[in-house]
Amino acid sequence: MSTSQLIILIIVGLASGLLSGVLGVGGGIIVIPALVFILGFSQHQAQGTSLAFMVMPVGILAVWKYWKGGYVDWNFAFVLAFTFFVGAYFGSMLSVNIPDRILKKIFGILMFVVSIKMIFSK
């Protein structure tokens, strides 16, 4: 893992953690697209690594399957897990002060923007 990759992972982990704390989203909405579009992961690698850092206790069998297929990068998963943890804490502190009506709009805009990117990318 290069220094620039580490910096990107820290930013992605914090951003996804903040969004998770604020909007309840992170892995599928932020991390997977970032791993694919910024770090050049395949979709399988992105999904496997995302599962490894986020749902390890719940998705242990899925993580194991992705890992056996060579689709989990543990170094990336550990950095993302730590920074997601920190970001989620601060995101939740922010979220409780945002009115429900505004939070719904922010969530909808985020989902729309990410879905357009995923649909129209190569």
Q: How many domains does the chain have?
A: 1
What are the backbone angles phi and psi of residue 52, rounded to the nearest 5°? -65, -35
Name the residue with higher pLDDT: 85 or 69: 69
Tokens of 25: 């989203």
Structural domain range at position 59: 3-120
The predicted-structure confidence for 27-51, as pLDDT tens digits, reads as follows 678 888 899 889 998 888 888 888 7
Q: Which of 76, 69, 88 is nearest to 34 (CA)?
A: 76
Q: What is the pTM of this model?
A: 0.65
Q: How far apart are CA 116 and CA 19, in angstroms?
A: 18
Query: What average pLDDT does the segment 66-87 reach?
Result: 90
| Mean of pLDDT values over 80-89 | 86
Quick one: what percent of the chain has pLDDT higher than 70?
A: 94
